[in-house]
Structure 1
């Protein structure tokens, strides 16, 4: 018996040695624990992994190294671990965290199994450090939900954040906002610089957006140049507007890039929960709808979503659907507006203007459907059709024996940069038989200044065809004279905004005079568009403008009506400025007809030609169409008072002598106007007839002294 027991003990010691050797040979950390979760033994790999000696952990509870329960189980009674593991087929695996002896935590994967022994079962726990795996998973998780360029949340994470905001708002009623931020003209800027520089700009903008909002708000990048923000816990919907303004200020700060300073603007659309939607997709859609509408208003605007905006988008979709069929259904037409020579009064050209009449939508304004065509790309086939129609009609009129005219066709930005534009124009000219010199291409000022070198190359190719080139909407962009003189333009078209106000706004008048002088110095002809009154016509003609187009002569006409004007040989009639008109002409402005009648009767005996007006705008029109020497104006008038009227006259028509009259006047203001030269003299009402006659006579003497050539 003694020998048998000794043999068994030897076998056990041999088995223990083998088990110990096996534990030490394993690549992972391992520990053996009893059913009370006390550590019985560990291997050397565990000492290395946890940074401790085995005597520091043996006989200690397993929670010292792995704080969380080894098995998640509702039954925590004595021996529950053994019961769970014996019931589980094979080892049980779990991810948890462990604590090193220095107190630092790290993620681990543990495998638990039961080792049945005669002296009692024990649990074997292998521990594998999964820090690298967790880092990889975290990286992949971040990549899946973040934008690679900016590091901002992407659309997936944005939608998750909006979902969280919805849950919070349902639990505790509150408002939150979605802001869609679209960088204006970014694609053009990117094309002008490079993709790499474009990425740098986007990275900079992303940083500015993050610093413009609170830490708990979300900033995401959802498209190339589109960002979205979630602003939670708003006290008022107006708070979103404050943030929008802050964002626009941050984005518009200058960015130094490639020895250039860029100023970028953004358009922002805002949707509010719960007013504008109660789910993720509706809120996002409505914010983008508001952005689209904000961009239509121009650069740097922000707009709240409204139901009416949604109706506009639906209407826009309907319009786009009809526009795609417009050419095929023969709904489009080209009308022609005459362009008249301001020296001879003869027609020298016309502008081809697109019109659209749809059976369902009626007449649609070009200001509405042309931007839509530009955005959707439909401007390419539509623009080509306009070009073909205009060239064909012009050649037909020439063959009919009418005077040879130049037809001007607008080229949109998308058309201009479309590959093959030169080939298209060459083909159209060849098929129509029109000599290239009778085709003029109008290109906007803003377009040519965006990419000067490439624009110059393109204009050079077009000029080689023999066509004429004009720069459209001049005065609204930021043309550099050094660049302008290098472009091969033949004509400059003054923007309608200056023409409209030229007779009564000294600033517009000064700009118009400057444009005319500058263009002539560059050997360019000047055409003014949108001339509607004889005053505008006379003012610009007398200051050297070469051509005009506008309602003052004719609106845009259908082809058949335009041909009738050609057949009639209709010419532009200029307002008579001098023939048979006495040299001493004066303008009398007073809002009381009775006063005008009295003054006219007093002054008529002196042989003056007296023009009268009851409003300032009437007075400006008379001044533009007649050679006026003396202006007599009351100071108290509705709309524009006499001081402002005479001040403008002094800048628009400095050759005139200006007299103010009133029974009630701020003498300090009158004195200031006299000192500035706006007023020659002030007369107090009522005045004696003889005093009035003497002052008017002296005023004409002053006029003739200052303007000896007009005697």
Structure 2
């Protein structure tokens, strides 16, 4: 039978026809085959069909096989006749599986289904197998099977598109759970190691946003092909979501085998990809969990592989990490922190501190940077470095950021009304806030609610944030600037600004990052960078403020070279509104 181009359903229909024809002949005799039957089988079916056929006696010893059997399994008749079909077992199925098989043969006179067996060369593969007893006295058994490896992915799509990713032709998360549960059971029975790898494409959203979904789709398809080129036939790849893949490595000898695969994947996937006129360079992060040391069930292995993947992201681009128990401890700590942060906004645990900004020539306070602080009722003051990244990831930065903006504007309005202090309040905008479509309307609403004139508000964006999407940045900044407020670029010198965009941005101030100010007197490179920033700002008719000023020597250096404003511990750390008022009174 020629199987080329046939669907699995058509193949199975033909197998059933062969089985019925064979059974019809065989059931005419309770003894061995008659001469006529034997000649028919050998000349018409046994020799000519591509399916594997085997016949056993009542003791389940093989008494005959056809050339199709040899072609599929690799065993010659001489190697199997007299032996039991268990020679083909893959050990993927437990005894309960075979018990059900023979029970169904006893009750229904037939068993038919998918089974995994092993070829002579050791390769494990899927078969579609039909088994029927021979004759009324069950003098033996007839088995007909075909290799369905090539039909597996097609069958997934036919059975249920929900299990199949149409873009990459890979099985998805649903099949991952089924397959991984099965492989864990298999590894337990055979006391074998196996591994789960979770892979995430770094900055995939940026590619989608800048080059379009066509580039993103091409990247995913290319990654799928590259991943498959790195693996053995027995390993399996799944697409889990937008930019995430899972890989099951079956029966590895040692954990280092998973490391070698991860290194190979990182190297291959980092090769450039051509899309239209763009050459894309893609990096990935991989997390690895090993059965049984990192988990003895599907859920634990996936959870721990994800924890390792997140750690790989933190460690930098093109990185892989093996799971370590401390990773879950950190994840739990972050989850707890996020839960507490949600309550903090409702329970008034958040507060805004203000760090004075001074005119360097007169050392008069002319502004203040609003800085978020969190005082937990049990844990005390929690560092912004701990909770700000969690607020960003969880989306809590949006309501928190609006609260900070409103609180700072309200405070500046209070100082203006009660003390006639014209303090310009600087408020940082996070990446998530800046990407909000209603950012401009939100800022306008806060100014109207608090009554603060826009000229007393300065909004800060980081240099790297401004350059992520410079055209969007330009439009947004122009809208904000048209309302009458000030705009500054924070942490200047730490990113990669395009001067052509920088001169177009409607900004008022460049803020020198503290990392350059810190060693300004001892590091010639830092001093040169600060001088270059001051010169650049003045050439663009912008003012300069230096942050992190902690010594008189730093202050004097900045004054001598034309820096207009400073902030830092030399003058005051961030303080409460009450303490800030005292500083104003002193100055």
Is residue 486 from structure 1 mapped to residue 504 from structure 2 by the alignment?
Answer: yes
**Matched residue, 1:178:** 196
**Correspondent of 2:244 among 226, 230, 239:** 226
**Correspondent of 1:323 among 309, 330, 341:** 341
Offset at residue 60 of structure 1 (A): 5.8
**Correspondent of 1:470 among 477, 482, 488:** 488
Counterparts in 2 of 1:282-321, with a 5 A limit? 282-321=300-339
Offset at residue 332 of structure 1 (A): 0.4
Offset at residue 299 of structure 1 (A): 4.4
| C-alpha distance in structure 2 between counterparts of 1:94 and 1:181, whole Å | 38
**Correspondent of 2:473 among 425, 434, 455:** 455
Alignment deviations for residues 251-283 of structure 1 (CA, whole Å, 9 cap, x no partner): 444433343333333333232333321222111
Q: What's the TM-score, normalizing by structure 2?
A: 0.74
Offset at residue 492 of structure 1 (A): 1.2
**Matched residue, 1:12:** none
- Aligned residues of 2:170 and 2:238 also touching (Cα < 8 A): yes
**Matched residue, 2:446:** 428
**Matched residue, 2:514:** 496
- In structure 2, the CA distance between the partners of 1:346 and 1:378, relative to structure 1 (3 Å rule), is same
Counterparts in 2 of 1:632-647, with a 5 A limit? none
| C-alpha distance in structure 2 between counterparts of 1:374 and 1:439, whole Å | 23
Counterparts in 2 of 1:11-160, with a 5 A limit? 33=25, 35-36=28-29, 63=46, 137=155, 139-140=157-158, 145-160=163-178
Offset at residue 543 of structure 1 (A): 2.4
- Aligned residues of 1:409 and 1:440 also touching (Cα < 8 A): yes
- Aligned residues of 2:157 and 2:164 also touching (Cα < 8 A): no
- In structure 2, the CA distance between the partners of 1:401 and 1:74, relative to structure 1 (3 Å rule), is same
Q: Helix, strand or coil for the counterpart of 2:346?
A: coil
Q: Which has the higher contact order (CA 8 A, sep 6+)?
A: 2
| C-alpha distance in structure 2 between counterparts of 1:340 and 1:243, whole Å | 56
Is residue 439 from structure 1 mapped to residue 451 from structure 2 by the alignment?
Answer: no
Q: Helix, strand or coil for the counterpart of 2:550?
A: coil
- In structure 2, the CA distance between the partners of 1:539 and 1:133, relative to structure 1 (3 Å rule), is closer
**Matched residue, 1:525:** 543
**Matched residue, 1:333:** 351
| C-alpha distance in structure 2 between counterparts of 1:176 and 1:90, whole Å | 38
Aligned residues: 496
| C-alpha distance in structure 2 between counterparts of 1:330 and 1:59, whole Å | 87
- Aligned residues of 1:335 and 1:354 also touching (Cα < 8 A): yes
**Matched residue, 1:393:** 411
Structure 2 unmatched runs, 5+: 1-16, 62-104, 115-126, 136-145
Alignment deviations for residues 289-327 of structure 1 (CA, whole Å, 9 cap, x no partner): 222234345544443322222112111121111111112
| C-alpha distance in structure 2 between counterparts of 1:160 and 1:95, whole Å | 17
| C-alpha distance in structure 2 between counterparts of 1:440 and 1:328, whole Å | 27
Is residue 348 from structure 1 mapped to residue 369 from structure 2 by the alignment?
Answer: no
Offset at residue 370 of structure 1 (A): 1.0
Deviates more, 1:193-202 or 1:556-565: 193-202
**Correspondent of 1:557 among 569, 575, 584:** 575
| C-alpha distance in structure 1 between counterparts of 2:158 and 2:432, whole Å | 40
- Aligned residues of 2:357 and 2:368 also touching (Cα < 8 A): yes
Q: Helix, strand or coil for the counterpart of 2:344?
A: coil
**Matched residue, 1:369:** 387
- In structure 2, the CA distance between the partners of 1:204 and 1:343, relative to structure 1 (3 Å rule), is farther
Alignment deviations for residues 168-200 of structure 1 (CA, whole Å, 9 cap, x no partner): 644565544333222223223322232222111
Q: Helix, strand or coil for the counterpart of 1:557?
A: coil
- Aligned residues of 1:107 and 1:134 also touching (Cα < 8 A): no
Alignment deviations for residues 22-63 of structure 1 (CA, whole Å, 9 cap, x no partner): xxxxxx99977471567999xxxxxxxxxxxxxx96996764
- Aligned residues of 1:39 and 1:61 also touching (Cα < 8 A): no
| C-alpha distance in structure 1 between counterparts of 2:342 and 2:440, whole Å | 24
Offset at residue 91 of structure 1 (A): 11
Q: Helix, strand or coil for the counterpart of 1:463?
A: helix
| C-alpha distance in structure 2 between counterparts of 1:234 and 1:403, whole Å | 71
- In structure 2, the CA distance between the partners of 1:301 and 1:335, relative to structure 1 (3 Å rule), is farther
Q: What's the TM-score, normalizing by structure 1?
A: 0.62
| C-alpha distance in structure 1 between counterparts of 2:257 and 2:557, whole Å | 50
- Aligned residues of 1:38 and 1:62 also touching (Cα < 8 A): no
Counterparts in 2 of 1:500-579, with a 5 A limit? 500-569=518-587
Q: Helix, strand or coil for the counterpart of 1:488?
A: coil
Deviates more, 1:387-396 or 1:444-453: 444-453
**Matched residue, 1:656:** none
Structure 1 unmatched runs, 5+: 1-27, 42-55, 78-86, 97-105, 115-128, 570-711
| C-alpha distance in structure 1 between counterparts of 2:222 and 2:504, whole Å | 35
- Aligned residues of 1:39 and 1:62 also touching (Cα < 8 A): no
Deviates more, 1:138-147 or 1:426-435: 138-147
Alignment deviations for residues 328-366 of structure 1 (CA, whole Å, 9 cap, x no partner): 211000000011122332222111000001112321111
Greater Cα radius of gyration, structure 1 or 2: 1
